[in-house]
C-alpha cells in the first residue's frame, strides 16, 4: 500500500520552532502520521499547545523548551528526546529567521547572527542527532529554507545568504551520510504565518497573490505535507534535494520594497 509509506508509526521526530507557523504545521502533520513529536521552541505555552494538538491528532506530542542558539540546550533536546521517546528518527530544522535590513546598515554582527540562527544551529543540531539516528539504522533530516535563498530582493542580504547556506549544507550533509541518513530541504515562498502577517494588509496581500502564479499565498499545511513526504519512507529514494514550494513564483513577490536613500553624488 503506497499510502502506508507516509506513516511514521513508532518513529520519533524533533521539530524546532514548533510553537507556531510552519513548525507547528509540520509537527501536526508528523503527529497525524503516527509519530512521537518532540516540539522544541522557546515559548512554553505555545509548545504545550502544539504538543497537545499532536496527541489529539493521533500522535504523541512532547514539549521540550529549547533556544537553538544555545548548544547546551540543543544537547539537552537530543538527550531528552531519546530519554522520552527511546530513539530518534527524524529531525526538522525549522527554527530561523531574520528581519529585513539593507546591506548598508547591516553590521558584521547582524550578518553573523543571521548565519548563527539559520545555518549554524541547524548544523549543530544535525551533528548531535545523526549518531542517535545511526544507532537505530538511519533517519531523515528536513531543513526549512526560503525562496529568498535563490531570489533577489533588497533588504535580505543576510537572511537570503544564510538560507542559501542552509540549502547547500543540506546537499553536503546528504553526500556525507548517504545512504543511512537522508537530508533534504523545503524551500518556502510566502506562507501565511504570524511573521508574514506583520507586513500584510488587504492591499498588500492582494498584490502578492496577483504576483503568484497559483493565485494564493501558501499555508503551513502546504509546507507540512511536503515535509512529511521527505521525513517518511515515501521519499526513500530522495536525498540532497531542495524542494521549492512557492506557488510557482519565479520572481520575488515580497510586499515591502526596501531601497537605500541615495544621497547626491553617491
266 is a domain residue: no
The cell numbers describing 20, all together, are: 507556531
216 is a domain residue: yes
261 is a domain residue: no
265 is a domain residue: no
Percent of the chain with pLDDT over 90: 84
User: CA-CA distance, 230 to 72, in Å (whole number)?
Assistant: 28
- 132 Cβ neighbours under 8 A, 6+ residues apart: 78, 81, 82, 87, 88
User: CA-CA distance, 15 to 225, in Å (whole number)?
Assistant: 14
Structurally, how many domains does the chain consist of?
1
Q: Determine the straight-line distance between the first and last CA of the chain, rounded to whole angstroms.
A: 65
256 is a domain residue: no
**Which of 163-181 are b and which e, b meaning 16 or more Cβ less than 10 Å from the residue's Cβ?**
bbbbbebbeebbeebeeeb
Which CATH number covers residue 141? 3.40.50.720
102 is a domain residue: yes
| Catalytic machinery residues | 159
250 band by pLDDT with thresholds 50, 70 and 90: confident
pLDDT greater at residue 263 or residue 48: 48
145 is a domain residue: yes
Enclosing domain of residue 50:
2-244
User: CA-CA distance, 3 to 140, in Å (whole number)?
Assistant: 18
C-alpha separations of 73 from 6, 69, 80 in Å: 30, 8, 10
What pLDDT sits at residue 265?
42
The answer to whether residue 257 scores a pLDDT higher than 70 is: no
Phi and psi (nearest 5°) for 65? -60, 140
Amino acid at each position: 500500500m503506497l499510502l502506508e509509506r507516509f506513516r511514521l508509526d513508532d518513529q520519533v521526530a524533533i521539530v524546532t520552532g514548533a510553537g507556531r507557523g510552519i513548525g507547528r504545521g509540520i509537527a501536526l502533520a508528523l503527529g497525524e502520521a503516527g509519530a512521537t513529536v518532540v516540539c522544541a521552541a522557546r515559548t512554553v505555552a505555545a509548545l504545550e499547545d502544539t504538543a497537545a494538538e499532536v496527541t489529539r491528532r493521533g500522535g504523541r506530542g512532547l514539549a521540550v523548551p529549547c533556544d537553538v542558539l544555545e548548544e547546551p540546550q540543543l544537547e539537552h533536546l537530543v538527550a531528552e528526546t531519546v530519554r522520552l521517546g527511546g530513539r530518534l528518527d527524524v529531525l526538522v530544522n525549522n527554527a530561523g529567521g531574520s528581519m529585513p535590513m539593507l546591506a548598508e546598515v547591516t553590521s558584521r554582527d547582524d550578518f553573523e547572527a543571521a548565519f548563527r540562527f539559520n545555518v549554524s544551529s541547524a548544523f549543530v543540531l544535525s551533528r548531535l542527532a545523526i549518531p542517535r539516528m545511526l544507532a537505530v539504522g538511519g533517519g531523515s533530516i528536513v531543513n526549512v529554507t526560503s525562496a529568498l535563498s535563490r531570489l533577489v530582493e533588497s533588504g535580505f542580504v543576510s537572511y537570503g545568504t544564510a538560507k542559501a547556506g542552509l540549502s547547500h549544507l543540506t546537499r553536503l550533509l546528504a553526500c556525507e551520510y548517504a545512504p543511512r541518513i537522508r537530508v533534504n530541504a523545503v524551500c518556502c515562498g510566502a506562507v501565511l504565518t504570524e511573521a508574514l502577517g506583520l507586513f500584510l494588509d488587504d492591499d498588500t496581500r492582494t498584490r502578492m497573490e496577483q504576483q503568484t502564479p497559483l493565485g494564493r499565498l501558501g499555508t503551513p499545511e502546504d509546507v507540512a505535507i511536503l515535509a512529511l513526504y521527505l521525513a517518511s519512507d515515501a521519499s526513500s529514494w530522495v536525498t540532497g534535494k531542495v524542494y521549492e514550494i512557492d506557488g510557482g513564483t519565479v520572481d520575488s513577490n515580497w510586499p515591502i520594497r526596501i531601497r537605500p536613500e541615495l544621497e547626491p553624488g553617491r
